[in-house]
Amino acid sequence: MEIPTSENANAPQLQHRSLIEERVRALYNGIPLSIGVTLILDLLLTLSHWNIIGQGDLILWNIFMMCAMVLRTVNWFFWRNTESNFSPRYWLTTFRIGALLGGLMWGSASYFMFASFNTTYQALLAFTLAGVASGSLTTLAIDKLSAVGFVTLAIVPLSLRLHAEQGQIAVSMSIMVALFIVFVLSASARARQQLENSFAQNARLIEWGNDRLQQQQMSKIVSQTQTLFIAANDDNKTFEHLLENVVKLTGSQFGFIGEVKYSEEQDPYLNMIAMTNIAWDKASRAAYNNYKTQGMKFSNLNTLFGAALTSGKPIISNNPASDMRAGGTPKGHPPITAFVGIPIFNNGQQVAMLGLANKETGYTEAHIENLKPVTSLISQFMIAIAHRRQHVIDEENIKRQAKHTQAILDGAFDGIITLNESGIITSFNHAAEVIFGYRANQIIGSSLLKLLPKYARNQNEQNPIKNISEILDVGQEMVGLRKNGKEFEMELALSAIQGEVDIAYVGVIRDISDRKHTDKLKNEFIATVSHELRTPLTSISASLAIIESGSLGTLPDKISNLIQIAKQNSIRLQNLINDLLDMDKLLSNKIEFDYKNFDAVTLVEKSIAANQYIADKHNVRFQISSAEEKCHIYADEARTQQVLTHLLSNAAKFSHPHSNVDLSISKTSNLVKILVTDYGTGIAPEFKPNIFRSFTQADSSSSRQKDGSGIGLTISKELIEKMGGKIGFTSNLGQGSSFYFELPIAH
């Protein structure tokens, strides 16, 4: 625990002495009384024995007594004036020597003043010495060695003399000596215990007070530093203010706060963010000034702070001169007499270090514990600084990404616009400018409805986002309006981006007027060709049927086979024309449906029978593997059979010879599902997204082995979806495919 002093804090002072200091103070404070009483007793004893024993012995004894008293007086005088210059143990030792010397002088009275021929004076001497011993307990009891030594030296010599002279009071005197020594030990123990209890209570009070002062001072430093960190927005100034206060609070001379960083080789080093000004010569002043402007880093790990940095544990060294971990100091640097380095962590990662040096009394583990609020504060600051730095990096990345995105948008062929929650245009790329004829600054801030003709807008324009939601959808084809008033067909894909507080919209616009015109010409061409081919093809098919029937006579086998091949190909060509006509109707939305209830199982059986020639051609077998009862569908039966024919044809074409094509019929509460499964080659993963696109085949080369137009699945998808159903598939390459469609159940 560090106590603030007048030199290092403005807080009130609370100081306490150690137990040995209290004992020394109590002992030395009793010396004047002890010397005064000794003089009185010496005088009385001298006067009483002046005419009884030899006067020369009395004078010699008094000389010895005076010498002992003078020495004790001098010791007391020096203690009063130079107490702080020597340790408490030194003063205790000198006091004990004086006490033992005093006891020896009193004990020598048995030699100089013993009246061999007069028991009265022997008793007087005995009781006087006993009184001296008992009286000395008032000042000596708190130090057992002084008390026992004094009593022993004062009384034991007389007791031995009485035994040697076989005096009448020898036995009683011996008993008295023994009792005195016991009393001395008991009194000394009680006095010492009382002193220690009093000292402990006083120390607790002072320590509590110091803890409170320390906490108040620490809280004040933390609060001031936090305020400065928020208000000043100057990290170095904040850390320098914190370091200055911590150095004062701990009574240190030097200190630093360093951020832990890592080199390219992942070696840690300290980058100073606050450092005490300890410039001692021209070179060091220049180095310090350079630190103030450009910073300073320390990468030498063969130092005390390096030991803390590499070990990740606090380092305390109160004798750096002989510490093997210390790497020395630069020439002319003030000597380091004590050092503590405290690593600071955040989520297990070392982020900073606090270093303090040259506290007079050295550092202890208690200092590390007491500095935890400061190290926690530094850790929080490092987190905040890291967030600031990351924020700056993120802002730069956002700006860079925005420029990159804008460059991509400007280079895109499709028009890209963004809308806010109210449907107001917030960005307009270059392609959009080309499509609509507006410059970005002319249209940004306007409603999207400005780009649509009036008949496409809702009459209520007070809530444009509602109108946009009603007329736009992902990939919807609609009519756009250019700046010059011309209308054109466009495709707009609008997607919503959910922000933290609002919604934004991104629209991708493509001018499809040319494509629509091309598609129209293509569809018209297909429709015209299909109609033109259908009439002669019907006549050809009818003629071939008449010839095949034998009504014109029996044909040779070779001619009959050729007629059959011609008929099959005419049927195939007729189906192709029908598919093309169906596609035309589907695209122009002119197809009509005859909805009715029909049995799914019966439909499947009819389809298998009607397409048996396909199974025979590819050498496969159509079979119903499972079927639930009472599976009635509400849809167009002919169109449903057309879809099933396409699925059976595909399954047969891609099945292995002599394999089966399984059909299953199942139902739920709302739908009837028909599944066609083959065990052929399967569909490659890269072709799966295009499986329902028009005129596409897995093998589209001119040398492909599988025939077909590539529109059967497209027609099937359109028919099923227009009848309110759903179509799909699953496939594994090399294991076969399963195509299914679901149609509403008939209730």
Query: How does DSSP assign 721-740, residue by residue?
Result: HHTT-EEEEEEETTTEEEEE
Read off the pLDDT of residues 592-640 as tens digits, 9 standing for 90 and up. Answer: 889 999 999 999 999 999 889 889 988 999 999 999 988 999 999 988 9
pLDDT attached to residue 564: 73
Strand order in the sheet with 339-346: 297-298, 268-275, 254-262, 349-357, 339-346, 315-317
Among 464, 493, 511, give the residue marking a domain's end. 511
User: How confident is the model at residue 640, as a pLDDT?
Assistant: 93
Mean pLDDT for 464-481 is 62
Q: What percent of the chain has pLDDT over 70?
A: 78
In a domain, 354, yes or no: yes
- Whole-number Å distance between alpha carbons of 547 and 553: 8
CATH number of the domain where residue 497 is located? 3.30.450.20
Each residue's pLDDT tens digit, 328-379: 666 656 778 888 989 988 888 888 989 898 888 889 888 888 888 888 888 8
Does residue 502 share a domain with residue 541? no
Same domain, 91 and 155: yes
Same domain? 198 vs 255 = no
DSSP string, 626-683: EE-SS-EEEEEHHHHHHHHHHHHHHHHHTSPTT-EEEEEEEE-SSEEEEEEEE-SS--
pLDDT band at 4 (very low <50, low <70, confident <90, very high): very low
CA torsion, ordered 211, 217, 218, 222, to nearest 10 deg: 160
Cβ atoms of 695 and 715 within 8 Å: the answer is no
Q: Enter the tokens of residue 603.
A: 């439909």
Same domain, 347 and 490: no
Residue 459 has pLDDT above 60, yes or no: no
Residue-wise pLDDT tens digits, 312-341: 889 898 888 887 777 666 665 677 888 898
Q: What is the pLDDT of residue 664?
A: 94
Determine the 3-state secondary structure of 444 from DSSP. coil
Sign of CA dihedral 249, 255, 258, 262: negative
pLDDT for 677 beyond 90: yes
Q: Does 50 share its domain with 143?
A: yes
Q: Last residue of some domain: 586, 608, 636? A: 586
How would residue 540 be classed by pLDDT, with cut points 50, 70 and 90?
Answer: confident
For residue 37, tell me if it sits in a domain: yes
Q: Which helix (H) or strand (E) holds 317?
A: strand 315-317
| Statement to judge: residues 122 and 163 lie in one domain | yes
**What pLDDT, on the 0 to 100 scale, is given for residue 595?**
93
Number of domains in the chain: 5
Assigned token pair, 54: 């030899």
Q: If you average pLDDT over each of 59-63, 185-189, 739-743, which comes out highest?
A: 739-743
Average pLDDT over residues 66-84: 89
**Whole-number Cα distances in Å, 159 to 99, 232, 275, 549:** 20, 83, 72, 162
Among 85-89, 172-176, 320-324, which stretch is predicted with the lowest mean pLDDT? 172-176
Instruction: Judge if 503 and 521 occupy the same domain.
Output: no
Q: In this prediction, what percent of the chain has a pLDDT beyond 90?
A: 13
Distance (Å, whole) CA 741 – CA 671: 10
- pLDDT value, residue 14: 39
Backbone angles phi, psi at 323, to 5 degrees: -85, 125
The CATH number that applies at residue 579 is: 1.10.287.130
More confident residue, 467 or 531: 531
Residue 552 amino acid letter: L
Question: Exposed, middle or buried: residue 491 (CB in 10 Å: 0-12, 13-18, 19+)?
Answer: middle
Residue 132 CA to residue 150 CA, distance in Å, equals 10
Which whole number is the average pLDDT over 436-453? 89
CB atoms within 10 A of CB 506: 14
291 residue type, one letter: Y
Residue 419, pLDDT score: 85
Residue 215 lies in a domain: no
235 falls within a domain: no
Q: Which residues contact 8 (CB under 8 A, 6 or more apart)?
A: 248, 249, 250, 251
| Residue 235 in this model has a pLDDT that exceeds 70 | yes
Is residue 215 predicted with pLDDT exceeding 60?
Answer: yes
Residues with Cβ within 8 Å of residue 53, at least 6 apart in sequence: 112, 113, 114, 115, 121
Q: What's the CA gap between 646 and 171, in Å, rounded?
A: 138
Q: What is the pLDDT of residues 695-728, one digit of tens each?
A: 555 444 433 445 545 678 888 888 899 899 999 9
Closest CA to 9 of 214, 237, 206: 214
Q: Is residue 163 part of a domain?
A: yes
Q: According to the per-residue pLDDT averaged within each range, which of 97-111, 298-312, 467-481 is highest?
A: 97-111
Q: Is the pLDDT of residue 294 over 50?
A: yes
Bridge partners (DSSP) of residue 708 are none
* Domain limit, last residue, from 511, 533, 560: 511
Of 621, 640, 651, give the one whose Cα is nearest residue 716: 640
For residue 174, pLDDT over 80 is answered with no
User: Which of the two residues, 600 and 134, has the higher pLDDT score?
Assistant: 600
Q: Are 203 and 3 in contact (CB under 8 A)?
A: no
How far, in Å, are 26, 139, 140, 198, 360 from residue 187 at the CA level? 15, 11, 9, 16, 39
In a domain, 352, yes or no: yes
| Cα distance between residue 598 and residue 522, in whole Å | 37
Spatial distance between the Cα atoms of 116 and 645, rounded to a whole number of angstroms: 151
Half-sphere exposure of 127 (CA within 13 A, CB side): 6
Measured at the CA of 355, the angle between CA 351 and CA 358, to 5 degrees, comes to 175
> CA–CA separation, 575 vs 569, rounded Å?
10
Q: What is the pLDDT of residue 139?
A: 73
Q: Is the same domain home to 570 and 608?
A: no
Q: What is the pLDDT of residue 431?
A: 87
Same domain, 717 and 602: yes
Cα separation of 461 and 220, whole Å? 61
pLDDT value at position 602?
Answer: 93
Mean pLDDT (whole number) for 110-129: 77
- Counted residue by residue, the chain has a size of 747
Alpha-carbon span 172 to 141, nearest angstrom: 24
189 and 59 fall within a common domain: yes
Q: Do the bridges between strand 349-357 and strand 339-346 make them parallel or antiparallel, or are there none, so unpaired?
A: antiparallel
The residue type of 568 is Q
Q: Is pLDDT of 242 > 90? A: no
Range with the poorest average pLDDT among 1-15, 565-579, 695-709? 1-15
pLDDT digit string, tens, across residues 504-534: 888 888 888 888 778 777 767 766 766 677 6
Task: Please give the mean pLDDT across all residues of the chain.
Answer: 79
Measured between alpha carbons, how far is 399 from 524 in angstroms, rounded to an integer? Answer: 51
Residue 263, domain extent = 243-390
Whichever domain contains 331, its CATH number is 3.30.450.40
**Which of 699, 706, 519 lies closest to 614 in space, CA to CA?**
706
Residue 704, domain CATH: 3.30.565.10
Sign of CA dihedral 95, 100, 105, 106: positive
Q: Are 679 and 534 members of one domain? A: no
What pTM was estimated for this model as a whole?
0.40
Pair 386, 293 in one domain? yes
The residue with greater pLDDT, 53 or 484, is 484
236 is a domain residue:
no
Cβ atoms 357, 351 nearer than 8 A: no
pLDDT range class, residue 456, cuts 50, 70, 90: low
- Asked if residue 273 lies in contact with residue 259, where contact means CB atoms within 8 angstroms, the answer is yes
Q: CA angle 348-351-357, nearest 5°?
A: 115
pLDDT for position 290: 60
Residue 407 lies in a domain: no
Q: Cβ(741)–Cβ(718) under 8 Å?
A: no
CB 607 within 8 A of CB 646: no
Q: Which residues of 423-455 are buried (b: 16+ CB within 10 A; e: fewer)?
A: bebebbbbbbbebbebeeeebeeebbbebbeee
Beta-ladder partners of 623: 662
Task: Report helix, strand or coil for 428.
Answer: strand
- 325 and 232 Cβ atoms separated by less than 8 Å: no
Q: Distance of CA 253 to CAs 220, 459, 580, Å? A: 21, 81, 96
d(CA 636, CA 633): 9
